[in-house]
Amino acid sequence: MKITRVRAIPMSDPVPPERRHRTDLGTKMKSDATLILVETDRGLTGMGAALGTPPIVAAIVEHELAAEVVGEDPMFSERIFEKMYNGSRAKPALEGGVPQAETSRRAGMVMEAISGIDIAIWDVKAKALGIPVYQALGAVRNSVRAYGSGGWAPGNEAEAELGSYAAKGFTAVKMRVVGRDGFSIENCVRRVAAARRGIGSGVELMVDAHASLETPVAIRLAKALEPYDIAWFEEPVSPDNHAGMAQVRASTCIPIASGEREFSRYGFKSMLEHKAIDIAQPDVARAGGLTEIRRIAALTQAYDIRLAPHAWGSGVLFAASIHAAMAAASCHILEVSQGYMPMMNELFNEPFDVRDGYVHAPDRPGLGFSLRPAAMERFKYVEGPEFAF
């Protein structure tokens, strides 16, 4: 079997004005994604998803990466990843056994494009084998505990918002540190207290700062939140400040989670060396696809660090995240967005199986999902930023 074509299709999902709200990232105007399609001479096509600015990702795929993938056998997924990562020096890198990464491919949108292609290759590879991707990766389980992720409501409204997630059967929920009423430590504590009232003592509560705080502020906030039994404090500081993240971790009994903005195993290696995290959160559409997620899982497991993949994005990204979770022994929980996400929930013919607080893996070959006929038209790319401040 040979790969005959690689395509990248920019996609958007505009947020209706009445559904827009402001957070630390700005006002959400739309969601973007790049759909990657890998076609073969056997008539099998694999789907992948890449984060990053879609027209730029599409140009990277078309003008840089596709030529290195076309003609390859998708069963050789590790080889293809190394070709994309090492670029012109792939041959000596593979012969010598030491990476010689092309400078631009170590991180950023090129790595996001590599991630999307890699997911699509695993999809077509598993289809050829007639099994789900997670079984091709090496299955650990076929269901995993889920947490409801959202939590922007201001003040005491957080009680009803987070309580509604628990009412759906989630035994863990996550809220944002910065709500629609802006940020102060007092504001956040009030919202967290309300959320805890809404979910009771038997549901885990996580908080997410979106890397928006300075180290001293994050330390003060962590101390203020300790009485509310927080399961993890996510991205307390910038992902470029692993030393500061380690200071936050050392200052509190709350576990620290991070990783959604990291690229490849080397970003996670740095966090581990800094003793900055308790939970690793790679994003399959950014960190290097399923091939690199396996490596990240093995690396973090050697430090007894649990895995909780970041899974906020398109339906293809969420589908790939399900398979990553089912194949990683250290994965204990998976994110399920509670936001306005039609491009996640209405992209496929088949629904996601989320029930009783668990995500269940599909039993169909590959990723196990197929695009709705009108998906490309409905989610046609729209120019402009995802967030407006």
Supply the residues annotated as catalytic: 210, 310
Rounded distance, CA 136 to CA 347, Å?
A: 24
Q: Count the neighbouring beta carbons within 10 Å of the beta carbon of residue 301.
A: 16
Q: Do 214 and 234 touch, CB atoms closer than 8 A?
A: no
Give the 3-state secondary structure of residue 163: helix
Strand pairing of 45-50 and 30-40? antiparallel
Token pair recorded at residue 283: 């994003």
Q: Count the neighbouring beta carbons within 10 Å of the beta carbon of residue 352.
A: 18
Phi/psi of residue 208, each to 5°? -130, 120
Q: Strand locations in the chain, DSSP E?
A: 3-14, 22-23, 26-28, 30-40, 45-50, 143-149, 172-176, 204-208, 230-234, 256-258, 279-280, 306-307, 334-337, 353-355, 358-360, 387-388
Core vs surface per residue 59-83: b (16+ CB within 10 A) or e: ebbeebbbebbeebebeebeebbbb
How distant, in Å, are the alpha carbons of 20, 81, 157, 321, 340 from that of 181? 14, 44, 11, 31, 19
Rounded distance, CA 217 to CA 177, Å?
A: 12
Token pair recorded at residue 11: 């996609």
Rounded distance, CA 252 to CA 270, Å?
A: 21
Token pair recorded at residue 73: 């056998």
Find the angle CA(122)-CA(11)-CA(111) to the nearest 5 degrees: 50
> How does DSSP classify residue 156?
T
Token look-up 């700062």 returns 209
